[in-house]
Amino acid sequence: MHIKKMFLLMPVIISVFTSCAVEHSKIVVAEFGKNKIYMDEFEKAYAKNSGNIENAKQDSISNYKKFLDLYVNYRMKLRDAFVRGYYSDEDMQKELNDYKTNIGTTFYLNDELIKPGIKQLYERRRYEYQVAHIMLRPDSSMNEQQTIEFGNELIKRINNGEDFEKLAREYSKDTYSKEKGGDVGFVTAGEIVIPEIEDAIYSTEPGKIYPQLLKSNFAYHIIKVVGKIPRRHMIRAQHILASSRDSLGNVDTLKAYQKILEVQKKIQEGADFGELAMEYSDDKYSAKNKGDLGYFQRHRMVPEFENAAFKLKVGEISPIVKTSYGYHIIKLTEEKPIPSFEESKDELEKTYKNLRYKKDLMKLKQSLIKQANLEIKKDLFDRVLSYSDSLKNINDYSQSVIHYELGMGVIFELNKNKILCDSLFNYMKGKGDYVFRKLSSDMLNEAIEDYAGELLIREKALQYDKVNPEFASLIKDYENGIYLFKILEEEVWSKVKVDSIMAMNYYEKNKENFKWKDRVAFKEIRVDSDSLANVIYNQAKSGVDFDSLMIKYNKKSSARSQSKNELVEIGDNGLADEANKIKNIGDISAPFKNGNNWIILKLTNREPSRIKTFAEVRNEIMGILQELESKRLEESYINRLKKLYHPKYYYDELAKAFKQ
């Protein structure tokens, strides 16, 4: 062939060979009946059994072969379960759906709320905001509606140019911050108990006010973001304090100021900060540690001290700082960076669940309800309310007129599913939030919305295996587990028959395998100190009854007093070994240390090694026989499946496992 033609044909030839090569994941490693087991299925199963894919890659071909044998057996059992109709069995499907609902709800809410919630919290905590507010509270001079109107008027005035700080000093009801122009210092996400206020802060540009009046539990707030800076997680500092009070408690700020000026001069001349703290600081607790305060976060120190410390860089020394305690000079010595997301995850989740989860869950429910068809049956709703005075506590519902008269009535429909009054009130009882509240229109509407949202979340959970692969895998494993349990129950456990005659025959043939080692019985006194142990020992040697000494002195936490004199095998118990050193029955050991305790032993019995009686080993033998019979029955069942499906094992292909 002409060389040019050969080169022209090469791509075609390569293409043909490539298309004929079997894709790695589709390599058949075994088959049974008309069912094939492919490489990708084998690798996934093996990696899961090994813990992870890296462990699986390191394993031997021999172990791959053993696992393939077991895996084929497993797959044949599942095929048998399908043939037996387990996949359509109502009871088994109900068990599976209950599991899907419970676990699926956890997965769904974790994906919808918790994961994004803690991620947002982590990202927000990269920054801290200096915040000011004007707090307005309804009182005798203004009712709630007037307070709202006045708050909105102040927002307009601020937006028109009036000074926020001046208005805060004039009108704010927060005595802590009003004299500082409403300034509450620096905050970061997770420190603010009202989620709406945190959201407002993080959505407002520095120098601006949030455009709406915000409500907390007992007040209304106008929020201003003064500044935004990268958050500093934790700092470590030393300080020197010149207290404004003398040793008699008298205030003398001038003397304190003169002292701190003297210290400052020495620092400027190059004196060691730590040595000066030990000599001059009036904070005696930190002075002995060269002024070291350890690591601290925001809001752990008084504001003036905190503000000065957090402005410093590592190694810098502050100017003189005045606080209510006196005058300070601060040196920043170390700083810890913000932990990674993985390091923070547990703490973030705890914070999120405490502060935001409940409200976010209600928002999710409201969103799902908007997409659904919810129809409240007004006639029954009104009839329930007409009996409200007869129900003082939701826990009493099952004995109430509402239950007897209206319990089987439909109180709302959700996507054409009829929800009974009994179902709603049982949900309310289980929640606990409604138990001590008076039944009212608002409460009933809230409970219907809450329950409808819960039902919609359960619907999501039932379908969530189609969305979340991890959940799908978990459900498949659980489903297969149900079927395998049922098969083993029918084929093995229900057929295991073991009686005393079989046990006795096994004992007679194998009694040499059931032996006691040398054994001793003893009593013990356990105390904390060697001195007390010696006192007790001397009393026992002088004839004081050992049992009386046990009752009087033995530690209450002692796990065993040996009052029953049970025999214990030598070599299996450290105290038994010590008791065996005692020469005669009735003799007492000298005190010896065991862990954190001091112990005195009295030898009460000794028995040499012997074959156990049938009575002593009957239960053990019954267990052995049950295990042997279970194994025999399962092997018999597997052999029947093999005769039915004629499994084939392609061990040579396992050399390619985990190679891609």
The model's pLDDT over 89-134, given as tens digits with 9 standing for 90+, comes to: 999 999 999 999 999 999 999 999 999 999 999 999 999 999 999 9
List, for residues 496-526, the tens digit of each pLDDT value.
Answer: 999 999 999 999 999 999 999 999 999 999 9
What pLDDT score was predicted for residue 3? 41
pLDDT-derived band at 149 (thresholds 50, 70, 90) equals very high
Strand segments (E) across 127-232: 127-136, 183-187, 214-215, 220-230
User: What is residue 326's three-state secondary structure?
Assistant: strand
What pLDDT score was predicted for residue 564? 53
What pLDDT score was predicted for residue 15? 41
Q: Average pLDDT for residues 325-347, to the nearest whole number?
A: 96
AA letter at 281: S
pLDDT(64) > 90 = yes
pLDDT(557) > 60 = no
AA letter at 543: G
pLDDT(176) > 70 = yes
Q: How far apart are the first and last CA of the chain?
A: 38
pLDDT(459) > 80 = yes
How far CA 391 is from CA of 382, 403, 441, 447, 609, in Å, comes to 15, 10, 14, 16, 72
The DSSP annotation for 190-203 comes to TS-S-HHHHHHHHT
Cβ atoms of 67 and 46 closer than 8 Å? yes
Cβ atoms of 233 and 186 closer than 8 Å? no
What pLDDT score was predicted for residue 457? 97
Tell me the residue length of the chain.
660
pLDDT-derived band at 556 (thresholds 50, 70, 90) equals low
What pLDDT score was predicted for residue 481? 95
Choose among 386, 452, 385, 373: nearest CA to 419: 452
Phi-psi region of 208 (alpha: psi -120 to 50; beta: other; left: phi over 0): beta
List, for residues 209-244, the tens digit of each pLDDT value.
Answer: 999 999 998 899 999 999 999 999 999 999 999 999
Q: How far apart are CA 322 and CA 328, in angstroms?
A: 6
AA letter at 16: V
Give just the sign of the alpha carbon dihedral 35, 41, 43, 44.
negative
List, for residues 424-457, the tens digit of each pLDDT value.
Answer: 999 999 988 898 889 999 999 999 999 999 999 9
List, for residues 302-323, the tens digit of each pLDDT value.
Answer: 999 999 999 999 999 999 999 9
Q: Average pLDDT for residues 587-600, to the nearest whole number?
A: 93
What pLDDT score was predicted for residue 181? 95
Give just the sign of the alpha carbon dihedral 383, 385, 390, 395.
positive
pLDDT-derived band at 249 (thresholds 50, 70, 90) equals confident
What pLDDT score was predicted for residue 8? 39
Query: Whole-model pTM?
Result: 0.78
Cβ atoms of 328 and 240 closer than 8 Å? yes
Cβ atoms of 383 and 402 closer than 8 Å? no
Q: Average pLDDT for residues 322-339, to the nearest whole number?
A: 96
Choose among 275, 164, 161, 144: nearest CA to 218: 144
Classify residue 140 by its DSSP letter. S
Q: Average pLDDT for residues 144-168, to the nearest whole number?
A: 96
What pLDDT score was predicted for residue 360? 96
